[in-house]
Structure 1
Amino acid sequence: MEPRPLPSPSMSASQRPADSLRLVHWNIKELDTLKLSQPEHLQVQAAADILQALGADLFSINEVHHDPTRDNLGAFLGHCDPQKTLPYYRLSPSNTGLRSDPTRQILDRSNFGFFPGQYATGFASRFPLEKTLEIQKLRWKEWEPNIDLTSFNLGGVHPDEIELFDKSFTVHWLTIEGRSLAVVCLHTVPAFNFGQDKSPNAQRNRAQLEFLRWFLTGEPRPHLTAQGIEPLPQDQAFLAMGDFNCPLRDKNCPGGPVLQSLLADPRVDPQLARIAPTILWDLPRLDPTITFFADGWDYNRLPTELDYVLVSRELKIHNLEVIFANPDRRIHGLYDPDSDLTPLLEALAEPGRKVGLQRGISFGRADQVAVVSVGKDFARLRLASDHLPLLLDFSWQY
């Protein structure tokens, strides 16, 4: 097994300021029971290596399978946190797959998912979780009573019964240095209809982000208060994070203006996580706020801004970064896919780099494969997930 990597000059991870705390948020693609039950699964090991190197005090994770038969989040933390520096954790149940039946191959077509508990949201902390609020059963019509959902395909669920959250909305309260901090964890539905005219995705994403904005900055609503759901007090410090699945400036995503208004609210610091300029100096077409691109080593495939960390004004931001590595991608030629490329791959091997094959369709030749090499740190990030980690170093403002 390779040694745990430390952040290198080719990977963005600023030096941690003294007396600051570190939060890491990461959507780690589809961490299901099968992967997490394998001690040396390559993706799990790659993600664990990166997280251990980053040294978080607080850790938010999307896409862990909530399996009632085993502790999947604890299993993952065992991979990346062998010293148990994050002893307090919780994996919140999700609606994803709620109406599925794997034994009969029935999919959940309302909240999506192949099995119950898919794509759950977890949180781990160096500090005790004093109280947790998990909003899972709130119906969309309870949040927006006047919305007309009859034109949408809701997967066979009545418009009055469909949940607002296809996963869940979770809040943890901690005490740090004698002061209260609320940590909001959310993974929204994608703000994309994927070519389906009757899909509710884009509007459901907007509604979920509207709820987030209300919870962070709004006034109480009596019918929600009766369910034990109230917005945060005006003097409550908070962090809100997750895969919000909505590019901030995409005109086709109705949740974008909601996020923009939230970042413009006086209670919220307007800073966005960004890739360090030293990493992007030779990648001028890559937006520094991207947090996702499609699987593989081609960083020009669907680069998108999906993940966010929102910071209240009571907190001082020292670093707010998207963790990325210099791809240093080199194309070594296009070849017939039936040819033996083993000698070439072996000849190209060198320390600090990974060599592999990529479908030639990325280079305009669907009938060929490309031999590609990239920097080792970049390859490790891409093996770990299609999303990039977000890192926040912060302290109390005063």
Structure 2
Amino acid sequence: MRCVAFALLMISPAMTFADSPEPSVKTIRIASMNVSLYGDSAGQVAAKLGGGADAQAIKLSRIIRTIRPDVLLLCEIDHEPDATTVNRFADLYLNADRSDVTEPIDYPYRWSIPTNTGLLADVDLDDDGRTVLPTDAWGFGRYPGQYAMAVLSRFPIDRDNARTFQKYRWSILPDALRPTDPETGTSFYSDAVWQRLRLSSKNHVDVPIVIPESAGGPRTLHFLVSHPTPPVFDGPEDRNGCRNHDEIRFWREYVCTPNAEFLVDDNGISGGLGDDQWFAIAGDLNSDPLAGDSRQAGIKELLACPQVQNVAPKSEAHSVATALFGSRRVRVDYVIPSVNMPLVDCGVVWPEPSTSLGRCLDATDHRMVWIDIKPTPQ
């Protein structure tokens, strides 16, 4: 199996994207995409999506409707308790008739995931004598629900057996990287704050996707989703770099130590993922194993974990990249399959800018990443 970047795929001039068939039961496509659908205040994104005419959302939807994932993680899309933003994007853009050549795609199963971003903490995190957004949110955010995640699926989501770690405390993680001033050796966070501080800047969620018998099942795919904080916007204590590292390390502990008593979810249930389970770790992890500002040991150790397949789509000319930050191309977006999943293909959606799909890329500074697996009954 050879993974290739989407930009290298050859498409016949006579073939349009509308000719692409619905995903076959022979393979299941799993994808992650940072869509950059956030605003300056609560309700702003939902309002702009109303009516189905937002230019950014139209471009994003064209990418999704072209690649047609069966299971899709969206990063940086607003969360509301009634999932207004997610539902408007799915109904008015993804599953709407349009004049372009892409066919609508329906995701009947959706989960707008609660987030720590913009959720005001009950302690003064930055020790400035007041508790205000955005600096005193459990995860940096100017309003509740900013920078959240959502899962869209063609297959049922088993919400009853989902596990969230939104309230998991950073200090509980063994060998946690407590941010410390390198010159003074003083901890950036007081003991009182450190004992309360949450690890996840958004959420860490085990989303069980039920693959039905008609699609090659029945079996469960554990979609392990997160969006660690960017490892920048801090000082010499590197508090965001430390947090990014440990947010990534959380998944290594989760898939490698099924009996870990220190992994306690929001319902009080301890332990990691059971042996021999299918899983895919997905998200904008904000860490490139070879470049950038992160503490690269976290992502390197995750990719080297014997429980995963390190699939990195590459061209012949350069290593894979999944985001463009200014003039820098970096690999920060991932869909990492478990070693026991039968992988068929993988890719990054980065077509030439002059193509019709390439003209949609300015909707976000990230690129969709995807894998195809071949489902087999458990």
- Under TM normalisation by the shorter chain, which class is it? 0.7 to 0.9
SS at match of 1:27: strand
Q: Per-residue deviation at 1:55?
A: 1.5
Q: Which of the numbers 300, 317, 321 marks the counterpart of 1:290?
A: 321
Q: Per-residue deviation at 1:293?
A: 0.7
Amino acid of the structure 1 residue aligned with 2:37: E
Cα contact 2:168–2:264 (8 A) shared by 1: no
Aligned CA distance change for structure 1 residues 170 and 146 (closer, same or farther; 3 Å): closer
Cα contact 1:154–1:199 (8 A) shared by 2: no
- 2:236 is matched with which residue? 197
Aligned CA distance change for structure 1 residues 122 and 380 (closer, same or farther; 3 Å): same
What are the residue-to-residue correspondences of 1:22-41 with 2, within 5 Å? 22-32=29-39, 33-38=43-48, 39-41=52-54
- 2:146 is matched with which residue? 118
Aligned CA distance change for structure 1 residues 155 and 289 (closer, same or farther; 3 Å): farther
- Structure with greater strand percent: 1
- 2:348 is matched with which residue? 322
1:67 aligns to 2:67 (yes or no): no
Q: CA RMSD in A?
A: 3.2
SS at match of 2:162: strand
Q: TM-score, normalised by structure 1?
A: 0.73
* Higher RCO (C-alpha under 8 Å, 6+ residues apart): 2
- 2:334 is matched with which residue? 308
| Separation in structure 2 between the aligned mates of residue 322 and residue 54 of structure 1, nearest angstrom | 10
Q: Which of the numbers 269, 278, 284 marks the counterpart of 1:243?
A: 284
Percent identity at matched positions? 22
What are the residue-to-residue correspondences of 1:144-155 with 2, within 5 Å? 144=174, 148-149=178-179, 151=186, 153=188
| Separation in structure 2 between the aligned mates of residue 155 and residue 126 of structure 1, nearest angstrom | 46
Cα contact 2:229–2:286 (8 A) shared by 1: yes
Cα contact 1:269–1:310 (8 A) shared by 2: yes
Cα contact 1:29–1:385 (8 A) shared by 2: yes
Q: Identify unmatched segments of 5+ residues in structure 1.
A: 1-6, 278-283, 296-300, 328-373
| Separation in structure 2 between the aligned mates of residue 132 and residue 169 of structure 1, nearest angstrom | 11
Q: TM-score, normalised by structure 2?
A: 0.77
1:54 aligns to 2:54 (yes or no): no
| Separation in structure 2 between the aligned mates of residue 304 and residue 146 of structure 1, nearest angstrom | 26
Q: How many residues align structurally?
A: 326
Amino acid of the structure 2 residue aligned with 1:379: R
- 2:361 is matched with which residue? 381
Larger radius of gyration: 1
| Separation in structure 2 between the aligned mates of residue 89 and residue 31 of structure 1, nearest angstrom | 18
| Separation in structure 2 between the aligned mates of residue 251 and residue 119 of structure 1, nearest angstrom | 21
Q: Which of the numbers 294, 301, 305 marks the counterpart of 1:253?
A: 294
Q: Per-residue deviation at 1:87?
A: 0.5
- 1:221 is matched with which residue? 260
Cα contact 2:176–2:246 (8 A) shared by 1: no
Residues 190-221 of structure 1, C-alpha deviations (whole Å, 9 max, x = no match): 123x4622340111111111111011122423
| Separation in structure 2 between the aligned mates of residue 165 and residue 148 of structure 1, nearest angstrom | 14
SS at match of 1:293: strand
SS at match of 2:270: coil
| Separation in structure 1 between the aligned mates of residue 344 and residue 261 of structure 2, nearest angstrom | 38
